[in-house]
Amino acid sequence: MLQNFTTFAVFISMQSIQVNGKSFAKYLDSSTIDNVVDGIAKQINSDYKDQKPLFIAVLNGSFMFASDLFKKLTIECEISFVKLSSYTGTSSTGSVQQLIGVGQNLEGREVIVIEDIVDTGLTLGKLRVELQNQHPKSLKLLTLLFKPGAFAETYPIDYVGLEIPNDFIVGYGLDYDGFGRNLPDIYSIVK
Ligand code: 5GP
Q: Is residue 43 part of a domain?
A: yes
**Beta carbon of 175 within 6 Å of any ligand 1 atom:** yes
Tally the domains of the chain: 1
What is the per-residue pLDDT across 144-155, written as a single tens digit (0 to 9) for each? 999 999 999 999
Residue from 20, 84, 86 whose mutation best tests the ligand 1 pocket (most atoms within 8 A of CB): 86
Q: Is residue 1 part of a domain?
A: no
State the residue range of the domain holding 85.
Answer: 20-189
Q: Is residue 87 part of a domain?
A: yes
User: Which three-class secondary structure string do you get for the chain?
Assistant: CCCCHHHCCEEECCCEEEECCEEEEEEECHHHHHHHHHHHHHHHHHHCCCCCCEEEEEECCCHHHHHHHHHCCCCCCEEEEEEEEEEECCEEEEEEEEEECCCCCCCCCEEEEEEEEECCCHHHHHHHHHHHCCCCCEEEEEEEEECCCCCCCCCCCCEEEEECCCCCEEECCECECCECCCCCCEEEECC
**Beta carbon of 116 within 6 Å of any ligand 1 atom:** yes
Q: Is residue 58 part of a domain?
A: yes
Active-site residue, from 34, 119, 158, 177: 119
Q: Is residue 54 part of a domain?
A: yes
What is the per-residue pLDDT across 27-81, written as a single tens digit (0 to 9) for each? 999 999 999 999 999 999 999 999 999 999 999 999 999 999 999 999 999 999 9
- Ligand 1 mean position to 49 CA, how many Å? 31
Active site residue 119: yes
**Beta carbon of 60 within 6 Å of any ligand 1 atom:** no
- pTM attached to this predicted model: 0.88
